[in-house]
Structure 1
Amino acid sequence: MTVPSLMQNHQRKTYVVQLHKVYNEFSQALLQYQTDKNAVNLTEAGLSSQGNFDAFVSDYFKTIQKCDNSLTPCFSDDYKTLNGGGVNFHNGTSYVLANGSSIRFILNVEGDKIGQVGIDINGKQGPNILGRDLFFIAVYKDGALDDFNGGTAPLTEELRNNVYNSDCQGSGNVSGWGCFGKILNDNWEMTY
């Protein structure tokens, strides 16, 4: 192996470790929220409005910055795909967490999905590329965090791969789905 490929492999592992930490922190907070509300799912617990999600973040995370109805300055203002295209990234109240990551939740009920979280694992720092430091994760009523394709969680390996090929590896402007599912399929490794 050459030095550049070793450095690239190390950087990919670093991204995945950071993503896994944010994923675990978010998953544990959702479980604690549901437990504290003595509810059978997140919707029953009250995570059914944008305002309730904002309160959830304030109560269950250490935040260092809040960007009301805006991505910036919590997120970078320019993200690209792995192929150089654009990322469809909608405005919403965003936060910078004490761990340095940025999150933005958009309430978007579709089947068992109650919304999605955009996560930049290292905040505004580069490379600001979907699938490297920016990921979109669907939040389901039962507290599951997975990719999204219109169905219920957990997605099958085949569905995750289909979304990865069409969106994460897609050209032009993409929705952002697929990169997280590919990492789940590959046992928390960035193989792309």
Structure 2
Amino acid sequence: MFKKGFTLAEVLITLSIIGIVAALTVPSLVKDFKETQYKIAWKKAFSMASQAGLALAAKHDGDLAGVYVTKNTAHENAFVIRKDLERYLGGYVKTCDNCDQSKKICFPEHKPLNKHSGSVHGSCSGNGSGVSAILKNGMSINMTDPDPACGTAPNWICFGIQIDVNGTKGPNIIGKDMFELSINRNGIVRPTGWTKTNNQILTEWSGCHSGGLGWYCSAWYLRQ
């Protein structure tokens, strides 16, 4: 007795259904995978920065307040910090110091998580704040101009570092592949938003949600 096989029409219908399901699910799976990779990379970057901050403070007897006041401007002092941090961040493959937008930048322009107007620039574009570098591990950093006195109590922030975990490649969005931290006078590293409650992180304008700017994602993902 012969068993009846599938007709060509049935095979084509089945393949069409499989194709439709794949078209609906694969992009979502790819997006979720990429975002998971960004979060993992951020945790690694934060660990690296934490070790670098403590090592930098140890080099200066445990206190960075008053250390970076050797140059005429805070922007010039940022160059000194970048040089001091290089050995602790694993070395640089490229550095950027000027604001000539015709030159290749180390730290690309980043858009807010909510895609509204506004952006964050590296040292070679836009506002020219801080100095930038590409690390040997492929990440990009932008260092804000330091406060020589390291701010005020209780935070005592000396300077901030923005990190794009996949370098100059996209999506270049705050809270997706770019995160921010600060280093205090004792070399302790804190993510932006670390003083906020979970509810504040998920509701405030700078928060980590579809309507927020994305800055607090730096703290939120480290809590997960």
Q: Tell me how far apart the structure 1 counterparts of residues 38 and 54 of structure 2 sit (CA, whole Å).
A: 24
* SS of alignment partner, residue 8 of structure 1: helix
Count, aligned residues: 176
Q: What is the aligned counterpart of 1:73 among 105, 110, 118?
A: 105
Residues 87-102 of structure 1 aligned to structure 2 (within 5 Å): 87-89=119-121, 90-91=127-128, 92-102=130-140
Q: Percent identity?
A: 26
Kept in 1: contact 2:161–2:182 (CA 8 A): yes
Kept in 1: contact 2:53–2:189 (CA 8 A): no
Q: What is the aligned counterpart of 2:151 among 110, 126, 139?
A: 110
Structure 2 residue 209 is matched with structure 1 residue 177: no
Structure 2 residue 113 is matched with structure 1 residue 82: yes
Q: Tell me how far apart the structure 2 counterparts of residues 133 and 53 of structure 1 sit (CA, whole Å).
A: 24
Q: RMSD of the TM alignment (CA)?
A: 2.9
Q: What is the aligned counterpart of 2:163 among 102, 116, 119?
A: 119
Q: Tell me how far apart the structure 1 counterparts of residues 30 and 80 of structure 2 sit (CA, whole Å).
A: 42
Q: Tell me how far apart the structure 2 counterparts of residues 99 and 138 of structure 1 sit (CA, whole Å).
A: 21
Amino acid at match of 1:110: G
CA 1:141–1:158: 2 relative to 1, 3 Å: farther
Kept in 2: contact 1:136–1:147 (CA 8 A): yes
Report the alpha carbon displacement of residue 133 of structure 1 after superposing the two structures with TM: 0.8
- Corresponding residue number in structure 2 for 1:190: none
Kept in 2: contact 1:33–1:56 (CA 8 A): yes
Structure 2 residue 93 is matched with structure 1 residue 64: yes
- Corresponding residue number in structure 1 for 2:197: 157
Report the alpha carbon displacement of residue 116 of structure 1 after superposing the two structures with TM: 0.9
Amino acid at match of 2:135: L
Q: Which runs of 5+ in 2 are unaligned?
A: 1-23, 70-76, 122-126
Structure 2 residue 26 is matched with structure 1 residue 3: yes
Q: Tell me how far apart the structure 2 counterparts of residues 101 and 94 of structure 1 sit (CA, whole Å).
A: 11
Q: TM-score, normalised by structure 1?
A: 0.76
CA 1:51–1:81: 2 relative to 1, 3 Å: closer
Q: Tell me how far apart the structure 2 counterparts of residues 58 and 141 of structure 1 sit (CA, whole Å).
A: 18
CA 1:34–1:159: 2 relative to 1, 3 Å: farther
Indicate the structure (1 or 2) with the bigger Cα radius of gyration.
2
Report the alpha carbon displacement of residue 13 of structure 1 after superposing the two structures with TM: 1.2
Amino acid at match of 2:105: P
Amino acid at match of 1:43: A
Structure 1 segments, 4+ long, off by >6 Å, are: none
CA 1:27–1:101: 2 relative to 1, 3 Å: same
Amino acid at match of 1:97: L
